[in-house]
Amino acid sequence: MNKITTDICVIGAGSGGLSVAAGAVQMGAKVVLIEGGKMGGDCLNYGCVPSKALLAAGKHAHMFGHSDEFGIAPAAPQVDFARVNAHVKSVIAAIEPNDSVERFEGLGVHVIQAYARFKDARTVIAGDTEIRAKRIVIATGSSPVEPPIPGLEDVPYFTNETIFDNTDLPDHLIVIGGGPIGMEMSQAHRRLGAKVTTLEGGTALGKDDPELTAIVKKRLIDEGIDLRENAMVQRIEKTDAGIRVVFEKDGQEQSVDGTHLLLAVGRKPNVERLELENAGIEYTKRGIQVDDRLRTTNKKIFAMGDVAGGLQFTHVAGYHAGIVIRNALFKVPAKADHSAVPWVTYTDPEMAHVGLTEADARKNHGDSITVLKWGFDENDRAQAERRTEGLIKVVTDKKGVILGASIAGLNAGDLLAPWILAVGQRQKIGTMAQFIAPYPTLTEVSKRAAGSYYTPTLYSSRIRFIVRLLMRLFG
């Protein structure tokens, strides 16, 4: 067996692991990077990149049939699903070189393409190589959950790891799971011509503000998605035409027949192969236990991203990479702060959030909070684009400090950017009210929402009295 001694050993070449490896080696550390699957991990190959590429194709198809408002005759799109799949693969291929073995070896990283397991508290084995490291970083990510539904083993089904290999448009896609992945894939396939039924055991997009999710769900239902909420799946049956999903709703057993099935019911941390017990690392089914410096119960070993059991976003893994590098290389006691982590659901309209929701703010601050709202129908650019469905909601404390912001509407993810900064830096609402927004842009919804904080004061009887008095005295 080959033996290597190194400064940093990174297990997992997803977004977080790659960031640690690239940063550490360029700062002078010796780095070994281990990956048993595809370089780039879930985000590049099965998640963020292919899903957004498929959504983009769906958006273009949708535009064909919805141009009459602009004086353009609508037409039915001719969808070649194999070419749509080729588009998705080409987007992955365009980004792939940034995450490739060749690039990282060019930076000086020793890349080992094999699955890793711990031998002891300082040693990892990958293939025929034994790696002893001063610091070890676990960045193995997560995988889709395949729930124990009776009959599931008898039918073919997709997860996010397989659906982007499909080259045939489903006639009727049944999606189990109404979270972000389920709703995004439902809309993408519906716009590309599939019939879609989405089953959710609770409330679809239930982690977000219900006032905003109502906007998104209405749009998806209007586009023809058959959304069934509070539908608890009981079993799955194979039929001559495909698949039948039996579920309970409103106390009654119901069923839906389709040709294809997608599971989007959550994710689990990738810990099975690691033999963490050999390194004294504690974990649960939610992920590896870490402290606020992302150290495991073995203080020489860090865990980051999805496998650490927190927020499962690529940008969180990227943020964690900086925390790990500061702790592992510079011995700076940097702590992860997740209070201003944003997230976006890339349906159309998008939904974006940072900080506290209105419900969470009321739990923490009671009725002393102020809730500010502004509709996209009051925005001139939204009117020009015929995209007036949308709302921004901002929550402040009694002193005007911004606690959170949520947006549903066109380009919500991009519109959220200044609010991320505001929440992270605990800025007051006046900061957002005073910036000059170019006209006509969607960014004006942020300024108008912020400015509404002062409306009760500025247009009060007291201010009117003062203005009239000043006009008489100095007019």
> Does 142 show up as a binding residue in the annotation?
yes
> Does 52 show up as a binding residue in the annotation?
yes
> Does 266 show up as a binding residue in the annotation?
yes
Sign, Cα dihedral of 33, 39, 43, 47: negative
User: How many CB atoms neighbour CB 299 within 10 A?
Assistant: 13
| Pairing state between β 243-249 and 232-238 | antiparallel
The answer to whether 39 and 101 are in contact (CB under 8 A) is yes
The answer to whether 140 and 12 are in contact (CB under 8 A) is yes
For residues 467 and 390, what is the distance between their CA atoms, to the nearest angstrom?
A: 36
For residues 414 and 401, what is the distance between their CA atoms, to the nearest angstrom?
A: 22
Give the residue from 190, 242, 220 showing the smallest Cα distance to 79.
190
Per the structure block, which two tokens stand in for 189?
Answer: 């396939």
Provide long-range contacts, Cβ within 8 A and 24+ apart, for 469-473.
none
> Does 150 show up as a binding residue in the annotation?
no
> Does 179 show up as a binding residue in the annotation?
yes
- Per-residue b or e along 204-243, where b marks 16 or more CB atoms closer than 10 Å to that residue's CB: bbeebbeebbebbbebbeebebbbbbebebeebeeeeebb
Sign, Cα dihedral of 207, 210, 213, 217: positive
> Does 200 show up as a binding residue in the annotation?
yes
User: How many CB atoms neighbour CB 335 within 10 A?
Assistant: 12
Residue 64 to residues 221, 329, 367: CA-CA distances in angstroms?
19, 53, 47
Per the structure block, which two tokens stand in for 119?
Answer: 């031998």
> Does 325 show up as a binding residue in the annotation?
no
> Does 213 show up as a binding residue in the annotation?
no
**DSSP element (H, E) containing 412:** helix 412-415
> Does 105 show up as a binding residue in the annotation?
no
> Does 141 show up as a binding residue in the annotation?
yes
Residue positions forming the annotated binding site for FAD: 52, 140-142, 306
List the binding residues for NAD(+): 177-184, 200, 266
Residues that constitute the known binding site:
52, 140-142, 177-184, 200, 266, 306
